[in-house]
Structure 1
Amino acid sequence: MNWTLVIGGLAVHLIFFYSIFDIYFTSPLVHGMTPHATALPPPARRLILFVMDGCRADKLLEVDDKLHSRAPFLRNIVKKKGAWGISHTHVPTESRPGHVALIAGFYEDVSAVAKGWKENPVEFDSVFNESRHTWSWGSPDILPMFAKGAHDGHVHAHSYTSDAEDFGGADSSKLDTWVFDRVKEFLSEAKHNMTLREMFKQDKVILFLHLLGIDTNGHAHKPYSHEYLENIVIADAGIQEIHGLIEDFFEHDGQTAYIATSDHGMTNWGSHGAGHTSETLTPLVAWGAGVRGPQPPGNHPYPDGYEKEWHLSDLKRTDVNQADVAALMASLIGVPFPLNCVGTVPLDFLNTTDQFKAEAIFANAEEILAQFVVKMHQKRSTTLSVFFTPFKPLTPSIQVDRLRQTHRLIQQQHYKEAISQSVETIELALLGLTYYHTYHRLVLGFCIAMAFIGWISFLVTLILQHTLIIQPRHNLDLQQRGFWRSEKGIRLAFTLLGVIVVSLLYIQSQVLTHYLYCLLPIVIWHKVVQRADVFVDLYYYVVDHGYVKRTIVAVLMGVCGLEIIILGFFWRQLLSVGLLGIALWPLSTHLMQSNRPLVLRWIFSCLVLGVFPLLPVVGRQPNYNLVYLAGILAFILALFLFTRPEILTHNKRTTSETSFSQWHLHTLLQLFVLLLAIFITWWTAVSRQAKQGLSAVSQFISWAILATSLVLPLVSSSHMYTRLLSIAVSFLPPFLLLSTAHEGLFYLALSTVLVIWIQLEHDLQTRKLQRLSTLWFSDSLSLVADCRKLEFNDIQCAYVFLYLLLTAFFGTGNIASINSFDPASVLSFLTVFSPFTMAALMMWKIIVPFLLVTCAFNAVHLSINVPTQSLFLLVLLMSDYMAIHFFFLVKDYGSWLDIGTSISHYVIVMVTILILFALLSLSRVFTNFSLRVSRKWHRQ
């Protein structure tokens, strides 16, 4: 393996991977603005915010056949006292970005979401920070990020321990009762503690009650479960009780505003993170000081018709974007809008004078316009004046005119016209913020695209050098060329271009990453131009041998094959169509005459594997019977294979009697671990159904099985069949522990296809090769000197590997299953909420099938006598073709689901490419490395 190429390729792809976040997901935050607040006295002195984490709008607002609601208090508010609507969340529908949108008023970028949950990784303002005092109770994963950094320590956070967030417990509504009990204790103490009482009776005060029980019960028991629905009943009763206590404390002074909402919803299978309507539609109920009461519906009903479904069609429904809630809270209690708030005050929720509405929306417009001005100055200061193109609808003179005109309309008491003018200013400012936020996106995207195309061209030159196509007779003498076509001239030209680019970037004070993006295509294309003679050799080879039509057909077939994989990202069912084509491919080869049983086994196994992309995504409906079935079938199959003659004979022939006994012991240990995993899976499922939680013994055994699975393959024989079987049997137990449905059966089907694929590739070779049963992974090191060159048929081998690699993921999942998380998958290992540990376990579950395919790929290299680097370059070329395809499909417009999906596609391909570098090395460890000290374990 050429390590210079590996390191260089890894660096290039890391830049490609990071660029998509730097170009499309940079932080929207800007600093240096002046706070803006409503000039008039606010309608409320205090605000109580209830966030029912994970509560779906339909589950809160629907009624049964007798028109009975599970949230009678909030429904009574909707019918008699307050206003209601739906708060539309953005992707990703997770707790952190949802709360940031609700409380800070902006949609957090992905990079910040990934930095942590318990602290604030980026400095942002919030309604809590702008308040005089905020008291909050709830989860330790949410509260601290709004308390940290607040000036004067006026945000008081009280949370339970993370151990309380137990997904395996009988009922998590205790999380909400804990919050209600603490609030009651706070109110009781405020009656006797004069200092606390005076603080609490001031204006601009907020109480925040984070109710996590609904979300936790939804994950553990699903949103249609008794636990989830009963938790809504408990939350509604608790809100009613707190409402009554607050009103009594302040002697019904009418100065308290209330808002009840949710950060996100939840799918029927107990997950969230994607863009399904069950995740993006959350309830919003507001009442109290400054909030309007029930009103008749308008003349333009919402097309979804939910109000009719929930028997609320006689009441006005007002939908908002989630960030609008922060603007609503700020206007109700008269605090400055959060500095980075992009929400608009939903005036339909207010019960105030037209003057107050006009002043509130005007301050809202000033705050968003201030962000626009800072962003505009930032871009202007980092762009040469000759290249700078301002946002024409909001030039500085237009900004001044709009603010002056709106202020004049308010003074002249033309409030409706002033409101309309402010709303228009907000819309233009938001468009302007997007314009400047994406100002350099076109140039940077062009540079990355050119680097991509250059890299693919460079890969083609490397691949051609691994074939018999390159003929020295077609290479021109560089000394006979003109200067600018010589090596020195080419180097000078690209050096001058690089100096010009660096100078322009330096003058404009661009960040370091922009240097990388702009210089990368120059470096790569320099290498391509230096190797341009390879394309000349290719041309002569194709023409001289009459391969023009064949080459065109091969390229078209390759593109069509890759497009099937690409379409599989959108419709995973199409992968079954591709598997059908791969199943029938050997029918056109000589194997139909030489080894028909092998071809029939291949067709059958591919058809079985092709069933899985047609099945629902794993996680929606747990079915542990399928997990048990997969484990039992695997045990029977492993027992049968371990006693096959080609495995028993070679291990007995090449080991001493002692080592052969050790091999028996190793085999028995693997089978025992597999049975133990089946038992632990059953134990976990039974405990979950009985709502008994996870025992410490079960948890310890699960982690021990995971650790053992990493070691067992390394102590097995390096005989190819034995080592592959050991790898497959060792990785299956932890995979079963992380399974909830048919993933285990998919694992068996994939493993079967891989074994037959190795035999198929071996038998397709026309030259004389060693029998597979005589191959040892320990021979791979001595194989390099005798390896052959790449041939045309090797393209098919690389394609099958890539197809199986992506089938390893899409066989049981899709894009949404990456964003959506179901804790049921990790209940065998832990039940207490730990996002990073859970994510690591889920990543291991995803990597295991990848690792199986890569180990089989190593076996194919060994069996057909081709160096690893040669076939890997073909795989890399195909992967990069898909990556640039998805790069051009990335969009920053349309629905948030479309935007998130387009970026997810690109990220998946790039991650696949990046982990290929690691997986090939890791698979070589599992296939070639041995912990056996005795040499007798290897061939003698």
Structure 2
Amino acid sequence: MRMITFLLVGLTIHVVFFLSIFDIYFTSPLVHGMTPQATPLAPPASRLVLVVADGLRADSLFTLLPNGSSRAPFLRSVMEERGTWGVSHTHVPTESRPGHVALIAGFYEDVSAVAKGWKENPVEFDSVFNETKHTWCWGSPDILPMFAKGASGDHVYTHTYPAEEEDFASTDASRLDTWVFTQVKSFFQSAKSNSSLRASLLEGENIFFLHLLGIDTNGHAHRPMSREYLENIGLVDSGVAELVSMVEDFFGHDGRTAYVFTSDHGMTNWGSHGAGHPSETLTPLVVWGAGVHNAHIVTEPQPFNDGYLQDWKLEHLRRVDVNQADIAPLMASLIGVPFPVNSVGVLPLLYLNNSDQFKAESMYTNAIQVLEHTPFHSPSSVYCQISLCRSLISSALEGLVYYHTYDRFFLGCSVVLGFVGWTSYVVLVILKTHAGLNRHPMVITVFLLIQRSPITYYIYCLLPVPVWYSVLKESGTLTDLVRSAPSLPLWKCFGYFVLVAFGIELLVVSFFHRAMLTVGLAVLSLWPFLSGLFGKAKFRSLSWCLGCLCLAAFPLMPVVGREPNIHLMLHVAVCAYMPSLTHLSLQQKQGLPLLNQIISWTTLASSMLVPLLSSTRLFHRLLSIFLSLTATYLLLSTGSEALFPPVLSWLMFVWINIEQEAMLAQGVSSRQELSTIDFSANIDITKIRQLKLDDIRRSYFFVFFIITAFFGTGNIASINSFDPASVYCFLTVFNPFIMGGLMMWKVIIPFIIVMCTFETIQVATQLSSRSLFLIVLVISDLMALHFFFLVQDYGSWLDIGTSISHYVIVMSMTIFLMLLSVVTHILTSQRLILWRRSKMHFP
């Protein structure tokens, strides 16, 4: 009972520590209650056409063909003659939803908002569409509804195709873009005979939004360098040319239409997006029409040293780069609607072709709109000069940052105090098992009440009080340790402390550089030789060395018994062939075979059930678990990572055997054949031994293999970036939640393999699972505390997101291991009996 209570308390504390990072660093950027701000002068355009080519990279559009021509001749002619162009820099995560929110609403969604919903609005926000008189949208059902739902009134009209059309196995995904262009053409045709619709179209402050998903879908299915992806760009270009001609004819060439062509994100060479590689964050922006500067010829070198101008043969045309959120105020300014109240974008004046007075008024409006975010009052008078307005915007944005982060240091200190207290308490519990606080929390409570702080702030600040009270209650244990210090092997203790500290630092560095795992595995391969085990178990020692070295190859690769088990082995063989067969079918554009899909889903559903049908004898059960999980992993693999679970499983089997040899060499236990150990047998409490210093090494090995299981075949970028090819055996129609769930299961499988191994070692070495787990908890918490100090809120968005991801991963690992330990215990010790043989009785 005390163990259950301890685990529940520990789980609660770690959940609090985990959530604290979101309150401290992931606070929502949205502020409500602002007044919409609009430029009082007449706008240059009555309407705007926004075309977003989903997944289009800047270089894919701007780079010329080998013969000197462009794959997008119409847009190239616009850039060279009658428009302004540049690169739109996106923020991470480079996904469709946050990209469109930045484009149309002018702010960057925080991670928690992205996680809360894909098609629906997790939070209310304003957008350019919401401020228009009418907005007509055509495109994907994943993007359009969130802007219609978030709009006040009923003036955002959406036309979407069925979600089933977003099929990566489609023979030609460009048909999604063809559908959009066809629908727009029909729309304008019907407006000629529909007087009410025509009257609405002739009003000002209107937007037409075309979301083109074909390029993104073809990029995922065939890669950005494929013929399908590049030809889709040509189709979009010709579609835009026809669209412009049709719109100009409908409105009588009145010169009151502005056009914006851009993309929500790019794509890596291997067909994924979500991280911060330049191929994902650099997107094209071409703007022309009413109120926009014509092409500006430059003779002097431009202030860009990225080399793209030379590669794209555009050195002679002025390039105007923007942040993605800057496009929202640009569109609002062109048609004269209020800037979205949540926008943090800065109006890019070099795109505007208007009077200095209009530019100054627009910048002033932009400044007041941004200033509305802060709790400060708007100034009573501001000189209407562009430079002053820019300075005001900069100051307002700095004030907004301070408004969101002023209590960060206070909360961080509270969390660190709780962290140190909890870790100290766990160490004291370990020491107590094996070998009055006078501070009043009232002052903190009053301070938080004055600040009107959220309820979570009370938890972060008051949690250290009971934790440190528990530490002081166990202070007698620390006193006993000091008194017994002379009798302890101090040099050996110090050596273990230094080695574990070095090992923890190695794991921390491995989060930044996966190759450090290779270094760690190379060092671990020497353990039998350094510990003297080689002389007692040569074969197992050599197997351990070879297994470590084989596993060490994976971090260097690019991201991305008595009862027969013949049926499981055949299952693995079938699953190894299934991805090859599936991808061959998709390559030939024959779709996903139904039989392949049935086999894949059946394998996934049975992967946790099949092992429960085997014997609970150690070797038999582990082999069943490893083979079943490996079969599922194979279906989710696209390359060399398919070999990772077999190699990891081999090393885990060797680890179990060599740990038993280590126990025998130390005279701690007698040798017991692994095949005779039964997971389901009741543990004899009298045989549970006390902790030894070597158990610290076992716990560290476990943490090391857990980190290796996570990063062995990928890194942070590969986790954030999503490659649909990994799930083609299961489905090809775009569904972010099912696809994300399958990818998460692929990540979890190596975890389960290591967890089952650790469960086996606890049984084979006759050690209390609570004792080993407490040591693991201390090591994990020390790593988490390290990453807590490495969290940064400056630099690039990728740097910020990566630093926070490291902390979240380690904290999630601690919480996850607590829950997964229960699952692995069931997986190893329980058995399902589907039928029983009846005995025949004869008289």
Which TM bucket (shorter chain)? over 0.9
Aligned mates of 1:714, 1:531 — CA distance in 2: 42
- Residue 387 of structure 2: which of 420, 426, 438 is its match? 420
- 2:190 matched residue in structure 1: 189
Once the two structures are overlaid, the 10-residue window that deviates more, 313-322 or 554-563, is 554-563
Secondary structure of the corresponding residue to residue 21 of structure 2: helix
Mapped contact 1:759–1:772 kept (Cα < 8 A)? no
Aligned mates of 2:163, 2:587 — CA distance in 1: 23
- 1:25 matched residue in structure 2: 26
Once the two structures are overlaid, the 10-residue window that deviates more, 505-514 or 563-572, is 505-514
What is the Cα deviation at residue 936 of structure 1?
9.3
Once the two structures are overlaid, the 10-residue window that deviates more, 526-535 or 563-572, is 526-535
| Alpha-carbon spacing, 1:556–1:41, altered in 2? closer, same or farther (3 Å) | same
- 1:523 matched residue in structure 2: 466
- 1:264 matched residue in structure 2: 265
- 1:923 matched residue in structure 2: 824
Q: Which amino acid aligns with 1:507?
A: I
- 1:472 matched residue in structure 2: none
Mapped contact 2:273–2:721 kept (Cα < 8 A)? yes
Q: How does 1:879-890 map onto structure 2 within 5 Å?
A: 879-890=780-791
- 1:229 matched residue in structure 2: 230
Mapped contact 1:777–1:862 kept (Cα < 8 A)? no
Aligned mates of 2:184, 2:729 — CA distance in 1: 35
Aligned mates of 2:660, 2:819 — CA distance in 1: 26
* Greater share of helix: 1
In the alignment, does 2:707 pair up with 1:789? no
Q: Which amino acid aligns with 1:741?
A: G
What is the Cα deviation at residue 779 of structure 1?
5.1
Alpha-carbon displacement from aligned partner over 1:248-268 (angstroms, at most 9, x marks no partner): 101111000000000010110
Aligned mates of 1:784, 1:929 — CA distance in 2: 20
Once the two structures are overlaid, the 10-residue window that deviates more, 57-66 or 687-696, is 687-696
Aligned mates of 1:830, 1:352 — CA distance in 2: 51
Q: How does 1:807-846 map onto structure 2 within 5 Å?
A: 807-846=708-747
Secondary structure of the corresponding residue to residue 284 of structure 1: strand
Aligned mates of 2:579, 2:25 — CA distance in 1: 42
What is the Cα deviation at residue 499 of structure 1?
2.4
Aligned mates of 1:296, 1:172 — CA distance in 2: 37
What is the Cα deviation at residue 432 of structure 1?
0.5
- Residue 438 of structure 1: which of 391, 405, 426 is its match? 405
Secondary structure of the corresponding residue to residue 777 of structure 1: coil
Q: How does 1:556-705 map onto structure 2 within 5 Å?
A: 556-618=498-560, 647-648=561-562, 663-664=563-564, 667-705=565-603
Q: Which amino acid aligns with 1:677?
A: C
What is the Cα deviation at residue 913 of structure 1?
1.0
Mapped contact 2:301–2:315 kept (Cα < 8 A)? no
- Residue 308 of structure 1: which of 307, 310, 318 is its match? 310
Q: How does 1:63-212 map onto structure 2 within 5 Å?
A: 63-212=64-213
Alpha-carbon displacement from aligned partner over 1:779-810 (angstroms, at most 9, x marks no partner): 55323442001110111101111111110111
Q: Which amino acid aligns with 2:111?
A: V
Alpha-carbon displacement from aligned partner over 1:344-368 (angstroms, at most 9, x marks no partner): 1100000001110001010000100
Q: Which amino acid aligns with 2:308?
A: Y
What is the Cα deviation at residue 742 of structure 1?
1.2
Q: How does 1:378-393 map onto structure 2 within 5 Å?
A: none
Mapped contact 2:511–2:806 kept (Cα < 8 A)? yes
Segments of 5+ residues of structure 1 without an aligned counterpart are 377-395, 411-417, 469-486, 619-646, 649-662
Q: What is the percentage of aligned positions where both structures have the same residue?
A: 51
What is the Cα deviation at residue 551 of structure 1?
3.0
- 2:329 matched residue in structure 1: 327
Aligned mates of 2:322, 2:365 — CA distance in 1: 19
Mapped contact 1:769–1:864 kept (Cα < 8 A)? no
| Alpha-carbon spacing, 1:548–1:768, altered in 2? closer, same or farther (3 Å) | closer
Alpha-carbon displacement from aligned partner over 1:207-242 (angstroms, at most 9, x marks no partner): 000001111111111111111111111111111111
Aligned mates of 2:117, 2:820 — CA distance in 1: 27
- Residue 492 of structure 2: which of 528, 550, 558 is its match? 550
Q: How does 1:744-759 map onto structure 2 within 5 Å?
A: 744-759=642-657
Aligned mates of 2:301, 2:713 — CA distance in 1: 46
What is the Cα deviation at residue 300 of structure 1?
4.2
Secondary structure of the corresponding residue to residue 88 of structure 2: strand
Q: How does 1:761-800 map onto structure 2 within 5 Å?
A: 761-765=659-663, 766=666, 767-778=668-679, 781-800=682-701
- 1:760 matched residue in structure 2: 658
Aligned mates of 2:180, 2:360 — CA distance in 1: 37
Secondary structure of the corresponding residue to residue 374 of structure 2: helix
What is the Cα deviation at residue 934 of structure 1?
7.1
Once the two structures are overlaid, the 10-residue window that deviates more, 506-515 or 854-863, is 506-515
What is the Cα deviation at residue 933 of structure 1?
6.2
Q: Which amino acid aligns with 1:361?
A: M
Q: Which amino acid aligns with 1:918?
A: L
Secondary structure of the corresponding residue to residue 891 of structure 1: coil
Mapped contact 1:783–1:865 kept (Cα < 8 A)? no
Segments of 5+ residues of structure 2 without an aligned counterpart are 839-843
- 1:380 matched residue in structure 2: none
What is the Cα deviation at residue 776 of structure 1?
2.8
- Residue 442 of structure 2: which of 477, 480, 499 is its match? 499
What is the Cα deviation at residue 462 of structure 1?
1.6
What is the Cα deviation at residue 689 of structure 1?
1.3
Q: Which amino acid aligns with 1:319?
A: D
Alpha-carbon displacement from aligned partner over 1:643-686 (angstroms, at most 9, x marks no partner): xxxx22xxxxxxxxxxxxxx55xx34323322331332222121
Aligned mates of 2:492, 2:483 — CA distance in 1: 14
C-alpha RMSD of matched pairs (Å): 1.5
Aligned mates of 2:40, 2:494 — CA distance in 1: 72
| Alpha-carbon spacing, 1:934–1:197, altered in 2? closer, same or farther (3 Å) | closer
Alpha-carbon displacement from aligned partner over 1:11-68 (angstroms, at most 9, x marks no partner): 1111111111121111111111111111100000000000001100000011023211
Aligned mates of 2:186, 2:280 — CA distance in 1: 34
What is the Cα deviation at residue 299 of structure 1?
5.2
- 4+ aligned runs moved over 4 Å, structure 1: 933-937
Mapped contact 2:302–2:315 kept (Cα < 8 A)? no
Q: How does 1:246-265 map onto structure 2 within 5 Å?
A: 246-265=247-266
Mapped contact 2:620–2:675 kept (Cα < 8 A)? no
Mapped contact 1:137–1:208 kept (Cα < 8 A)? yes
Mapped contact 1:127–1:338 kept (Cα < 8 A)? yes
Aligned mates of 2:674, 2:487 — CA distance in 1: 41
What TM-score does the superposition give when structure 1 sets the normalisation length?
0.87
Count of paired positions: 833
Aligned mates of 1:536, 1:308 — CA distance in 2: 71
Aligned mates of 1:6, 1:40 — CA distance in 2: 65
What is the Cα deviation at residue 522 of structure 1?
1.4
- 1:509 matched residue in structure 2: 452
What is the Cα deviation at residue 774 of structure 1?
4.4
- Residue 405 of structure 1: which of 364, 382, 397 is its match? 382
